[in-house]
Amino acid sequence: MQRFAVGIEFCGIRYKGWQTQQHGVPSVQETIERVLSKIADEPIILHGAGRTDAGVHATNMVAHFDTHAVRPIRGWLMGSNSTLPKDISIQWIKETSSEFHARFKAQARRYRYVIYSNPQRPALLHKQVTHAFYPLDIDKMIAAAQKFEGTHNFESFRAAACQSNQPVRHVSHCRLIQHGCYLVLDIQADGFLHHMVRNIVGCLLEIGQGMYEIDHIDKIFAAEDRKAAGITAPPDGLYFIQAHYPEHFNLPQVPLGPHWLNMPE
């Protein structure tokens, strides 16, 4: 039995999220498993670094699978990408040890959320960014984003359907970057709750519109109640971009995405 780690890029517009769904609902995981199973000539189960909601994208979703099949790396890679739909691509594949687990060995996960701030809606980036057509106080939003750094109880920022046992997470960085009309929230944590990033972005957008002051975030944290927070931002602008693992696994390093997502640090 061999274990392989893979890096996957996908546009989530047509899918109901990463995880395999019941009743034939299209998911990224199931789509890739079907292709890998044909190449391996045996059932393949794919384990991802995290889950994504319907409509959410990824530039480097790390996953792994086990197989008895013996194929060259090029065979796995070229065979997969020649068969997968055009909105899913395996960027790299690497044989790894049985110790590696895409989910349980991940030390941190990183997302970026892209807002297109312009009175006119974008056409080429439809469903790939979130359009903010209203004026925003960007300096206030940049300052507010820093309030999410550190260890907090994110009870107010998770969906009612969240299945996590506890809501405390450590956010190593949360920063908003402006580049022309694009605003990119870059956030990394030891784990994320259901809708956590989208609810944080929703809060920042309300502050940017002048609905609340920055210290309103403290009140939301203190409430420990989802009703205390505001809107859930759309999935369109959200990208899973990275998972961090111990160095000895030596996974490939890849760019964080296209120019409008890969903003300077």
- Which is catalytic among the residues 41, 53, 87, 139? 53
End-to-end CA distance of the chain: 41
**Does pLDDT of 30 surpass 70?**
yes
What pLDDT, on a 0 to 100 scale, did the predictor assign at position 47? 96
Please enumerate in sequence order all residues whose Cβ is within 8 A of that of 32, keeping only pairs 6 or more positions apart, or say none: 8, 46, 63, 80, 84, 88, 90
State whether 24 and 134 are in the same domain: no
DSSP for 81-129, please give it.
HTTS-TTEEEEEEEEE-TT--TTTT--EEEEEEEEEESSSPPSTTTTTS
Tokens linked to 235? 């999935």
Reduce the DSSP state of residue 20 to 3 states and report it: coil
> Residue 196 phi/psi, 5° resolution?
-60, -50
Are 137 and 165 contained in the same domain?
A: yes
Residues 159 and 93 in one domain: no
pLDDT at 255 over 80: no
Which amino acid is located at 105 in the chain? K
Both tokens assigned to 225: 């109640």
User: Are residues 130 and 15 both part of a single domain?
Assistant: no
Q: In the chain, how many domains are there?
A: 2
Task: Supply φ then ψ for residue 184, to 5 degrees.
Answer: -120, 120
Residue 87 falls in the annotated catalytic set: no
Please check the confidence at residue 262 and state whether its pLDDT lies above 80. Answer: no
- Which of 53, 71, 105 is the last residue in one of the domains? 105
Residues 25 and 149 grouped into a single domain: no
Residue 263 inside a domain? The answer is no
Any domain includes 249: no
DSSP class of residue 80? H
- Give the separation between CA 134 and CA 116, rounded to whole angstroms: 11
Residues 98 and 144 reside in one and the same domain: no
Report the alpha-carbon distance of residue 88 to residue 261 in Å, rounded: 18
Q: What would the mean pLDDT of 219-231 be, rounded to a whole number?
A: 92
Q: Indicate whether 137 and 208 sit together in one domain.
A: yes
Domain that holds residue 7: 2-105
Residue 250 lies in a domain: no
pTM of the model: 0.94
Proportion of the chain above pLDDT 90, given as a percent: 86
CATH of residue 47's domain is: 3.30.70.580
Q: Residue 104 and residue 122: Cα distance in Å, rounded?
A: 38
Encoding tokens for residue 62? 């790390």
Q: Are residues 134 and 206 in the same domain?
A: yes
Confidence at residue 134, expressed as pLDDT on a 0 to 100 scale? 94
Residue 184 counted as domain residue: yes
Do the beta carbons of residue 176 and residue 265 sit within 8 Å?
A: no
pLDDT, position 265: 60
- Domain of 207: which CATH number? 3.30.70.660
Q: Is position 170 within any domain?
A: yes
Q: Which of 105, 139, 170 is the last residue of a domain?
A: 105
| Residue 119 resides in a domain | yes
Task: Give dist(CA 67, CA 37) in Å, integer.
Answer: 9
Check whether residue 114 and residue 231 sit in a common domain: yes
Q: Are residues 150 and 63 in the same domain?
A: no
| Pairing mode of beta strands 88-96, 182-189 | unpaired
Which of 105, 126, 142 is at the close of a domain? 105
In the predicted structure, residue 157 carries a pLDDT above the cut 80: yes
Q: Is 218 inside any structural domain?
A: yes
Residue 19 lies in a domain: yes
User: Alpha helices, DSSP H only, in the chain?
Assistant: 28-40, 73-81, 138-145, 196-208, 216-223
Res. 260: pLDDT tops 80: no
Mean pLDDT of the chain: 93
**Shared-domain flag, residues 22 and 135:** no
Phi-psi region of 180 (alpha: psi -120 to 50; beta: other; left: phi over 0): left
Residue 256 has pLDDT above 80, yes or no: no
Which token pair is 149? Answer: 């750094």
Tell me: do 113 and 231 sit in the same domain: yes
**Separation of alpha carbons 193 and 176, rounded Å:** 20
Three-class secondary structure of residue 134 per DSSP: coil
